[in-house]
Structure 1
Amino acid sequence: MRPPILILGEALMDCISQADGTLLPLMGGSPFNLARAAALQGGNVGYLSPFSTDTFGQQLKAQSLADGVRTLSPDSTRPTALAVVTVRDGQPSYGFYREGVADRDYQPDALLQLLSQMEPGVLHTGSLMLVPPEHLKVLQVLEGAKALGWTVSIDVNLRPKTAENLAEYCAAVMQAVDLADWVKASEEDLHALGFAEARLETAADVRHRFAKPSNKHIAFTFGAEGAYLWINGQETRAKAPRVDVVDTVGAGDTFWGSCLVDWSDAGTDAAQRIVATLNRAMTAAAINCSRKGCQPPKLEELSLETDL
């Protein structure tokens, strides 16, 4: 059996603003999207954060199970988190409702006890879970997981509007990056963290200043421009495949989910597969961008894809 990929993070309903002023609820949350993307590509994926017992929570849980994601924590009676999403020119902006919600209803000790009973694999988190003070619980889980032999994956995925103090939020993010084996950051993330010059052409220089000693795999994504990948001293970059973009919701999550599955399979050969890994991840993200909302491709779709 493949090593497990476990996800700690938000599962929420994206309430999409419509032209007539109504809101259309769609399932979302960066870690939730990533879990689906990784499972659809054949990963052995489990979700650590609780789902709510409310209607939205049970919809999210049902979708996870349908896509092959195992649920690992009891359901919570707290409500499902919400995000109000406005899409302009294909780019989403978000407003979040995150107090007292189900996916934050966990105890680090209970999760670490669960991890101690499993074969070590990949523990992934990031995004809204790193907003202070939630990050303190997350750091406790990450430190304990590393002590148990787990590989830590972080998708920075900064949401500046969710934090009262952006400097404290960025500091919390970099604390998590300091513990991470594998890290992904977008162009927007890098700009928010102070790397104003970050773009595809300068990615290698930015990595030198961004990376922490623990980081073994680093990915920087630059939207339609492409992406950069560094693995244990090997690096590559590529332009994004051409695609008729419907929207970009879940594109980064699909990209990173693809990387996690590929590396779980590759093991110590990851550096030798760097070009193939990047091409596969970018193709997966491009397919997702050709669809409305987050709809990651299945493994067989990637295998058959020849036009992107």
Structure 2
Amino acid sequence: MTGKAVIAIGGENLIDFVQTGEKNGAPVFDAAPGGSPFNVAVGLARQEVETHYVTPISTDDLGDMLAERLRASGAHIAAPRRPEPTSRAVVTLVHGIPTYAFHRDGTAERQITAEGLWQSIPQGVSALHCGSLALASGADADVWAAAMAEAAARGIFVSFDPNVRASLILDRAAYMARVGRVMQVAHLLKLSDEDLDWLYPDVSEDDAITALLATTSAGMVVLTRGPKDATAFAKSATWTQPAPKVARLVDTVGAGDTFMATLLATLAARGSLTAEALEALDEADLQHLLARAGQAAALNCAQSGCNPPSRSDIDAALAG
């Protein structure tokens, strides 16, 4: 690939109401912009990648918060704003680990059509990333799955993070079929050990990985295991990288999204957003990718909510 990478990001945007403590026995919440693909867009833009966010954002006050976060990070708001309300998530924390309750019926980020998406995705785009709630259920989920297949057919690099939210999956069989279609066209697939366990229940991790690798056409699959490590499976090599220590853990909100953004940003910087480039990755390449993505996630965990680091922040942390 030659020239500067341009990455389009699609999928939910919402406001996270994140528990920050208690007062008089009741939980206290802060409102923060969020949504997995939205966070990936912020993380990419902060690492100086040209990023176009192609999902509609509401024109309400919460939508203004979302739009301002993207603009401040340097991302382009590619889709027209919509009058429907902003989606919301209530995030409660237990020992820093988040659990989510989502409210997205009839909201702006779900108002998509195939025609509208392709009007928002810029000409000459290098990659399209999507995942999480966008694939969970509803007519919009089918639009996203079809758009990713169409992108692959057009020669666009496709990146996918299922980021499974089981509470919103109303029809497991339909969801598995939809995700299976996307996995068959994706070039880069990233998922957590919790995602893997949900997708392939009641089997060992090794058996689940074997089943996954037989399902996807991805030239690289990355499996994250929280604070333990991450493994990258490429065509020519496999590498497991320990997760860096977090000196002062605040919470893990957005850690996986920051990791995903950094994988894409690092591949973009190397000119590697192609199927051929992924096939050529060796152990040293995978170690570099995972070390950088893991460090970015660790920096995010030292702050409240999803607050991805800049490229220079990651460089400084890796330099020690």
Give TM-score scaled by structure 1 length. Answer: 0.92
Q: C-alpha separation between the residues in 1 aligned to 2:28 and 2:216?
A: 48
Q: Deviations over 1:276-308 (max 9, x none)?
A: 111000000011111111111111111111477
Q: C-alpha separation between the residues in 1 aligned to 2:162 and 2:318?
A: 31
1:5 to 4, 7, 10: 7
In the TM superposition, residue 264 of structure 1 has moved relative to its aligned partner by 1.7
2:147 to 141, 146, 152: 141
Retained in 1: the 8 A contact 2:90–2:100?
yes
Question: Which one is further off, 184-193 or 270-279?
Answer: 270-279
Quick one: which amino acid aligns to residue 183 of structure 1? Answer: L
- Where structure 1 has 5 or more consecutive residues not aligned to the other structure, the ranges are none
**Within the alignment, does 1:123 sit opposite 2:121 as a pair?**
no
Who is 1:292 aligned against? 304
**Within the alignment, does 1:239 sit opposite 2:245 as a pair?**
no
Question: Which one is further off, 240-249 or 158-167?
Answer: 158-167
2:292 to 270, 274, 280: 280
Q: Deviations over 1:241-266 (max 9, x none)?
A: 11132110000000010001111222
Question: Which one is further off, 86-95 or 12-21?
Answer: 12-21
Retained in 1: the 8 A contact 2:11–2:133?
yes
2:263 to 231, 243, 259: 259
**What fraction of aligned residue pairs are identical, expressed as a percent?**
32
Who is 1:165 aligned against? 171
Distance 1:153 1:306, change over 3 A: closer
Who is 1:44 aligned against? 50
What is the aligned residue count? 303
1:24 to 25, 30, 36: 30
Quick one: which amino acid aligns to residue 112 of structure 2? Answer: Y
1:78 to 65, 81, 84: 84
In the TM superposition, residue 232 of structure 1 has moved relative to its aligned partner by 2.6
- Where structure 2 has 5 or more consecutive residues not aligned to the other structure, the ranges are none
Q: CA RMSD in A?
A: 1.8
In the TM superposition, residue 109 of structure 1 has moved relative to its aligned partner by 1.6
Q: C-alpha separation between the residues in 2 aligned to 1:190 and 1:82?
A: 26
Who is 2:229 aligned against? 226
Give TM-score scaled by structure 2 length. Answer: 0.89
Quick one: which amino acid aligns to residue 4 of structure 1? Answer: V
In the TM superposition, residue 97 of structure 1 has moved relative to its aligned partner by 0.5
Q: Deviations over 1:127-153 (max 9, x none)?
A: 000112232111221122122211111
Q: C-alpha separation between the residues in 2 aligned to 1:284 and 1:68?
A: 18
Q: C-alpha separation between the residues in 2 aligned to 1:23 and 1:284?
A: 25
